[in-house]
Amino acid sequence: MKVWVIGTGYVGLVTGLCFAKLGHQVLCIDTDPAKIRVLREGKAPFHEPGLAELFQEQSSVSSIEFSEAIPVDGATDVALIAVGTPPLASGAADLRAVFAVVDRLAQTLPRNAVVAIKSTVPVGTALKVRERLRVLERADLRVASVPEFLREGQALHDVFHPSRLIFGVTDERTAGRLRTLHAGLEAPVVVTDPSTAEMIKYASNAFLATKISFINEIANICDRVGADVAQVALGMGLDPRIGPSFLRAGIGYGGSCFPKDTRALVNIAGEAGYDFQLLRAVVEVNQRQRLEPLRRLREWLDTLDGKVITLLGVAFKPGTDDVRESPAVDLHAMLINEGAEVRLVDPVVRYVRGHKGETVHVYSDAYEALEGADAAVLVTEWPEFTTLDWHRVVRTMRRSFFFDGRNVLEPETVRNAGMTLANVGRGTGTPVTVRGSDTTNILRPDAAFASM
Ligand code: UGA
């Protein structure tokens, strides 16, 4: 099949490469000439494990090409829209880019081509796109909603091994075309209407965010009553109705998806006259969770004015260079505000924009960034930081206060090296014994669990 993918961000580029690998002829389109230049030079524009290799493989067999504009000849079977839908000040998604693409496609697509929306868009958008195409006298074009569930850092795994494929369509013929497009991927397929498909995407992200905020609240209570949230999560997660994933307490979720999509769904509900109380609380809890390390730092250091604080990790999670809504950026601003000298360190991010728009240098070596520091916070659980030589860290820092914001360090090892360690609701972090179950995916890298 011939496929156009419009928008070469994470979702667009990874999806385009996946379709190329599945044997389709793919054209990726982006209005940003700098992006297209980089892509034509055969370079991956962002850090994603395995992306550069797949990119080179597919470029060399010419199954993927790049363009700055939607071609005028219109020769394609499917046009996949994967442009950004950033949040407006109200929290609602900004759909201008989507509709600008739709208008262009209306001028050029052949009869009965499929316009498939991959961008995360408010419920009802596909129907509005249909209506727009009708006004433009292109009612022949088939509009579908095909939401994406890939995670940054594991994007290639997720795109080739999807947990499910959701086809939001209004006719069987379009479902058939989408089946052909995805042939070669093994996953359950849900064929539904476009609005339901759009809601599946938001509801999935909102539910995962709810799990995180829930366990974070439990962690905060654990902190105050002397229980260990990691073991609580372990005990809860063994119930198949609950499941073990997304129960890792920490300083809250970030990234380009959960913060944006939770706010957008609150907004969608509000516009439909419904107050999504639970999700509003999820968002609020996530914002408040950023304050946990601050609370502890103030307790340790009295005032943060003039203190040197190192933040380990700038990317919103390991395996990516994405800093959107990263807790590190928020913490940086809050600490600066209290008069601290803040040092950021990350294996892949080299600089970041501060809250006032200034460029903030990011160290690449943890020991250099920890030199003479009064306290440090583990913000992103990069392996480089979870495997530090703690004796060396104690010698390097001026004072050895350490906050594990991701609950990934084995408390005993760190404390035995002479660090004062706090985490998010782990209490003493005493290992627990469970027999007969594989629990290794829950509490990495706590040796007591990993060995089971
Ligand atoms: C998320 C979803 O997981 C994807 O399914 C979805 O396709 C994507 O959003 C999207 O809408 O495009 P992503 O933002 O890449 O993917 O990252 P996740 O791995 O889901 O992590 C999100 C955040 O939750 C991170 O900040 C992570 O640190 C945090 N998190 C995750 C926790 O704090 N605790 C957990 O137990 C799990």
Does position 440 have pLDDT exceeding 50, yes or no? no
Q: How far is the CA of 11 from the centre of ligand 1 (A)?
A: 14
Whether cis (ω within 30° of 0) applies to the bond prior to 188 is no
- pLDDT tens-place string over residues 66-112: 999 999 887 899 999 999 998 888 878 899 999 999 999 999 999 99
Residue list, ligand 1 pocket, CB within 6 Å: 120, 148-152, 205, 208, 212, 246-248, 250, 253-255, 257-258, 261, 316-317
For the CA of 201, the nearest atom of ligand 1: 11
Number of Cβ atoms within 10 Å of the Cβ of 225: 8
pLDDT at residue 452 in the model: 27
Q: Whose CA is nearest to atom 37 of ligand 1?
A: 246
**How high does pLDDT run on average in the chain?**
92
Q: How far is the CA of 208 from the centre of ligand 1 (A)?
A: 8
Average of per-residue pLDDT across 393-403: 97
**How far is Cα of residue 182 from the mean position of the Cα atoms in its chain?**
23
State both tokens at 72.
């005028």
pLDDT at residue 75 in the model: 85
Return d(Cα 206, Cα 267) in angstroms, integer. Answer: 13
pLDDT at residue 58 in the model: 79
Q: Whose CA is nearest to atom 6 of ligand 1?
A: 149
For the CA of 381, the nearest atom of ligand 1: 28
Q: Are 432 and 232 in contact (CB under 8 A)?
A: no
Select from 317, 320, 408, 444 the residue to mutate for testing ligand 1; criterion: most ligand atoms less than 8 Å from CB: 317
pTM of the model: 0.91
Residues with catalytic roles? 257
Q: How far is the CA of 367 from the centre of ligand 1 (A)?
A: 28
Q: Are 91 and 267 in contact (CB under 8 A)?
A: yes
pLDDT at residue 437 in the model: 46
Q: Are 109 and 138 in contact (CB under 8 A)?
A: yes
DSSP notation for 270-319? HHTT---HHHHHHHHHHHHHTHHHHHHHHHHHS--TT-EEEEE--SSSTT
Confidence of residue 444 (pLDDT cuts 50, 70, 90): very low
Does position 442 have pLDDT exceeding 60, yes or no? no
Does position 438 have pLDDT exceeding 60, yes or no? no
Confidence of residue 389 (pLDDT cuts 50, 70, 90): very high
- pLDDT tens-place string over residues 293-347: 999 999 999 999 999 999 999 999 999 999 999 999 999 999 999 999 999 999 9
Return d(Cα 4, Cα 75) in angstroms, integer. Answer: 9
* Sequence-separated (6 or more) residues with CB below 8 Å from residue 47: 319, 320, 321, 348
pLDDT at residue 435 in the model: 57
Does position 54 have pLDDT exceeding 50, yes or no? yes
Beta bridge partners of 30: none
Confidence of residue 242 (pLDDT cuts 50, 70, 90): very high
pLDDT at residue 441 in the model: 40
Confidence of residue 286 (pLDDT cuts 50, 70, 90): very high
Closest CA to 148 of 13, 278, 316: 13
Average of per-residue pLDDT across 275-304: 96
Confidence of residue 434 (pLDDT cuts 50, 70, 90): low
pLDDT at residue 432 in the model: 52
Q: How far is the CA of 151 from the centre of ligand 1 (A)?
A: 6
CA distances from 290 to 170, 251, 385 (A): 43, 5, 19
pLDDT at residue 92 in the model: 81
Confidence of residue 401 (pLDDT cuts 50, 70, 90): very high
Confidence of residue 430 (pLDDT cuts 50, 70, 90): low
Confidence of residue 449 (pLDDT cuts 50, 70, 90): very low
pLDDT at residue 4 in the model: 97
